[in-house]
Chain A
């Protein structure tokens, strides 16, 4: 009973304290800016930190750790953080209390690094709140790194252990033997990259505020921008170029980056996933160039196609134009990018390139086996083979992922959204992209979905971010925990009565 109930509470408390500090920083930003909202941010920080400390110190870590516990911790703290993240929107009065679900949507979209917004008039939103909004994505990305390092390997559904099998050497898997150490290194890298991106963005002409917020959302592949027109607001090619590089970098595996930094650039060459990642984006870029060549002027075409290939290929969701005006064929290619997403072990969402690779190999093996029924063919990735168990996990994941997309699409269209918007919205939400197709394009916002539909999208975002399996298992673990609690109670009752 203890194992289930206690650790998640403590982890959630710690996460809340972190979020509270983000709120405090945002309050300072709001004070400096003078655009209001400081008070609301301050009070939400106070509330969050008091709840957080209460949870943190009122519980302790259970002695044994199993995988179900880890999932439950991550999933519950994500939920706690999302609830807390809705507070600033409500307390600053940007979103009225009657639209509680919208505030929650904005918060969930932030912490899951999706970047789909329901804010329509950015002029009325205090700068401090916009800063907080970007910061939620940055923190969400940090949480993800932990998820990839500490939780997913236990599940075996495409965390680092798949990469590990490819990169030889003793420290390949987790960079270090201890999870805490690994996470610390990755956070270091994550923070450093953020600083670099911010500095470069500042040097190419963004204001300090814009540079920092965009750096936050680029490195976390979130895609929030403090401007309604997103990147199109700046209309500057250098800025776009910097963002493209930043998004490409963040859509790739962070532990791989660490290896590359410590062991030299050759580390990239050892992993086949990165080749797939780049070829996918390059392929879509070429496709978009070809599809758009009659529609756009060639320089414009080059710029927009490259930007969107990278922005959606890394599931960031920044926009520099309105791709809804493009040809339908271009939309199909963009949808594929949204579905696949970035590399595993990155902050990008989606199905992940690695899983696509496994699926490819799996399907082609079936073709070979149809021809040679007695052949025993291993699934190869680069120079290593993947265990059957792992392949089965990946397959199960992808099936569930596709199933959830279809279910979400049906639910949304059942609520009266046209099918293109509904299904692309479903893909975009579960892949944590942000913009979708149809009415929910990059220049639009998610108010085009009905209120109930936004709840569906919110659930999809959370499921997608938690890589589906942990989220499902959280439910399993919780019901199991409750059942155990009941059993314990019944036991004590019977001992007392005797």
Chain B
């Protein structure tokens, strides 16, 4: 019975996605050949329904935010239509433009969500609105706002924003990243492990399958939350933010404020799924073949990491492990590695060693081809192999070795890309920690928070308490945090390359000028 319905849902989603694509394509027949324009316009056009839904929900709930949301939505829609109408997709797309398109798409989403925050008066300053918007579209649980004071419309808006952003990540993962070689599915010169391979020959149908799965999982999770005793509205919000590894909550104390074991277990399950590779889940579900999970090396390491850290958290805590402390240890480990950032139990009771381990989990992040942030388990496995290879090479200098992950081998290009990415991220982290510590955080808080927002978690350690860091920094810190979140989400290479692309005309002008000068000198 399951197969026909899921097939139907798949076809429906596929139809919907292709309809949207053709809609954008028919619209974009403008004069300006610009992929950036089309992407920005498409993001705005497609995000408008989000405003509409939330405004409707707010209207039904009797909240105050329905009019601002409606108006902002209309403005965004009009602007989007305008931009799309004026531009058209270029027949040939150089890779730098593709990078620029991805980055500008994210910025467009950022602008739309910022506008909503400003219009509804949730955030009074531009910097606060920007950082809230960045947290929404990158799925980071860092906020300066008390969610309990938000209207239903705005609450839903932020949760849906996180959910949609993660759905967009799936699409980018399948459609765009392979061209960029930054480690998407089945990337060209990227990493094609068995757990992150495309499902169908056409990227369109792969996309449809994954999005359907994502929607189904969200529904399942919402239902589970409801069954576990969460109120209806809360379970919708939490289902949306958990499966997308976003982490926004409708309560100030996150999941922990419900103080209920079943709810926490459901959240653990949801976060765990959010950090797992979606194609892997799809394959395993389709055949009913759970052995696929066991066969995936990355999944084994993912589970192993969670188990190890859980064990260490328990071993390093005071007192004997009880049912609650075990649950909370698993919760924190899963919340960190899936970069969700939900909180339960006493966060301040985590020992120093546990804190360090959770931070490492945040850096590691979820599996490749999942919606989680972070650096990804697979990449770290590759790095470990790389170190081993270099060690062996210093004993046998002429040895030629290929790095394997399970049954697939990793190309040298992809290897270099992964390493470059890691180093650039580390280099970026240093000035960020500097700014955050200069802007009001202590060293521990600044470091953990910087790492955390770069991995799109949002929870920090230190004297401020887990969720207070963003509120403790000033305007400059907010801007830097917003930037870091966005960079963490779309990884640093595209951002820097896109920035280089922007500066390209200037560069070529300088080069021409230099050449001209040299010619003069030679003469």
Residue positions of A touching B, CB distance < 8 A: 67-68, 155-157, 291, 327-329, 331-333, 336, 359-360, 362-363, 365-367, 369-373, 389, 392-393, 395-400, 402-403, 406, 409-410, 413-420, 422-423, 437, 469, 472-473, 476-477
Contact = CB atoms under 8 A, between A and B. Distances in A.
Contact of A469 (B383, B391, B416, B447): B391
23 contacts: A156-B394, A328-B437, A328-B438, A329-B437, A329-B438, A332-B430, A362-B423, A363-B420, A365-B416, A366-B419, A366-B424, A367-B424, A370-B497, A371-B96, A392-B393, A396-B393, A398-B423, A414-B312, A414-B353, A419-B356, A420-B444, A423-B356, A469-B394
Given A329-B437, A406-B360, A413-B355, A371 B497 contact: yes
B395 A476 contact: yes
B351 interface: yes
Nearest to B461: A419
Given A366-B420, A370-B417, A403-B387, A333 B99 contact: no
B125 to A, nearest CB: 23
Given A332-B430, A413-B356, A414-B356, A157 B493 contact: no
Given A363-B420, A372-B95, A396-B387, 9 more contacts: A156-B397, A332-B433, A362-B423, A366-B417, A366-B424, A395-B386, A399-B419, A414-B353, A469-B394
A280 to B, nearest CB: 12
A389 B442 CA distance: 41
A213 to B, nearest CB: 33
B493 A366 contact: yes
A4 to B, nearest CB: 13
A420 B463 CA distance: 12
B361 to A, nearest CB: 11
B434 A333 contact: yes
Nearest to B189: A373
Interface of B: 95-96, 99, 180-182, 189, 312, 316, 351-353, 355-357, 359-360, 383, 386-387, 389-391, 393-395, 397, 413, 416-417, 419-424, 426-427, 430, 433-434, 437-438, 441-444, 446-448, 461, 493-494, 496-497, 500-501
Given A363-B427, A371-B96, A419 B180 contact: no
Given A331-B437, A370-B181, A416-B353, A396 B420 contact: no
A378 B503 CA distance: 23
A367 B461 CA distance: 32
Contacts of B413: 369
Given A416-B353, A473-B394, A336 B430 contact: yes
A370 B493 contact: yes
A402 B386 CA distance: 14
Contacts of A67: 394-395
A369 B500 CA distance: 12
B122 to A, nearest CB: 30
Query: Which 4 A-B residue pairs are closest in the complex by CB-CB distance?
Result: A366-B420, A396-B390, A414-B353, A328-B437
A383 B266 CA distance: 60
B169 to A, nearest CB: 19
Given A327-B437, A371-B500, A414-B312, A420 B419 contact: no
Nearest to A398: B423
Nearest to B94: A371
Given A359-B423, A370-B497, A413-B352, A328 B443 contact: yes
Contacts of A409: 356
Contact of A400 (B312, B316, B387, B417): B387
A204 B312 CA distance: 54
Contacts of A328: 437-438, 441-443, 446
A406 to B, nearest CB: 6
B421 A419 contact: no
B444 A419 contact: yes
Contacts of B386: 395-396, 399
A473 B423 CA distance: 25
Given A370-B99, A410-B357, A420-B444, A332 B437 contact: yes
Nearest to B394: A155
Contacts of A420: 443-444
Determine which residue in B386, B423, B497 has the highest number of CB atoms from chain A within 10 A of its CB, and name it.
Answer: B423
B321 to A, nearest CB: 16
A395 B394 CA distance: 13
B395 to A, nearest CB: 6
Contacts of A417: 352
Contacts of B421: 366
A418 B461 CA distance: 11
